[in-house]
Amino acid sequence: MLTHAQIWTALDRLAARSGLSASGLAKRAGLDPTTFNRSKRITPDGRARWPSTESIAKALAATGTDVDTFVELITENARKPIHGVPVIGFAEAGSGGYFDDGGFPVGTGWDEIPFPAVNDEHAYALEISGESMQPLYRDGDMIVVSPSSPIRRGDRVVLKTREGEVMVKELKRKTAKTIELKSLNSEHGDRLLSMSDVMWVARIVWASQ
């Protein structure tokens, strides 16, 4: 007998396989972004709310997943080690309260997505919004950032300025005084910043494609 928790866990795993949050999976499936949110899994009066067959079918189609694979995601013994990774929208990352001065996630406003373990306990995910990073990253894509990982030339990084601007670029060169960044979208120019204007810079270690 299938349980309420098994079905929702399988949907969470399906989202994680595609590098998406629950809301990202819903959007990719053409559903309301809140369809798979945790807040929708229990009714206001405390009853279990199940996902509809139609919503599951659309999620499978959107991720190219067959029914047999979804059944495997339901069974506990098919599960790979997955942990909760904090995630927020890219647009929110520029506001206060989410990061300390070193770029490590803090605060309580984070959602979570299930994700295979990474070698940084402080890793977090950002959900891309808008088209400024195309063709590399599209709206709804997920990137996982590791603030503890060393960065080197050619790495894709997330950087936050002291004015609150957050950007995703490729690292061209970094010295004690300046940092040069290559834009991912050819329509946007490269950037040269003074390190005194940079709050933090962190390496992208994974991205959904």
What's the topology of domain 4-78?
434 Repressor (Amino-terminal Domain) (1.10.260)
> Which one is predicted more confidently, 63 or 79?
63
pLDDT at 82: 57
pLDDT at 61: 94
> Which one is predicted more confidently, 198 or 110?
198
Q: What is the mean pLDDT of the chain?
A: 86
HSE of 160, CA atoms in CB hemisphere, 13 A: 22
Q: Where in the chain is the domain with CATH 2.10.109.10?
A: 82-207
Nearest Cα neighbor of 169 from 122, 136, 130, 206 is 136
Q: Where in the chain is the domain with CATH 1.10.260.40?
A: 4-78
- Residue 21 clears pLDDT 70, i.e. is over it: yes
Q: What's the rounded Cα separation, in Å, for the pair 89 and 142?
A: 9
- Segment 86-105 shows an average pLDDT of 84
Domain 82-207 superfamily per CATH: Umud Fragment, subunit A (2.10.109.10)
The confidence band for 85, taking pLDDT boundaries of 50, 70 and 90, is confident
Residue 124 pairs with which residues in a beta bridge?
145
- Segment 62-74 shows an average pLDDT of 88
pLDDT at 58: 96
pLDDT at 163: 92
| 3-state DSSP assignment of residue 122 | coil
Query: What does pTM read for this prediction?
Result: 0.61
**Tens of pLDDT along 26-38?**
999 999 989 998 8
48-57, 75-84, 137-146: range with lowest mean pLDDT: 75-84
| 3-state DSSP assignment of residue 20 | coil
Q: Which of 39-53, 141-155, 164-178 has the highest mean pLDDT?
A: 164-178
The confidence band for 202, taking pLDDT boundaries of 50, 70 and 90, is very high
pLDDT at 46: 81
**Tens of pLDDT along 109-138?**
787 776 665 667 788 989 888 888 888 888
- Residue 78 clears pLDDT 50, i.e. is over it: no
- Residue 151 clears pLDDT 70, i.e. is over it: yes
Distance (Å) of CA 49 to CA 1, 7, 112 = 17, 11, 20
pLDDT at 77: 45
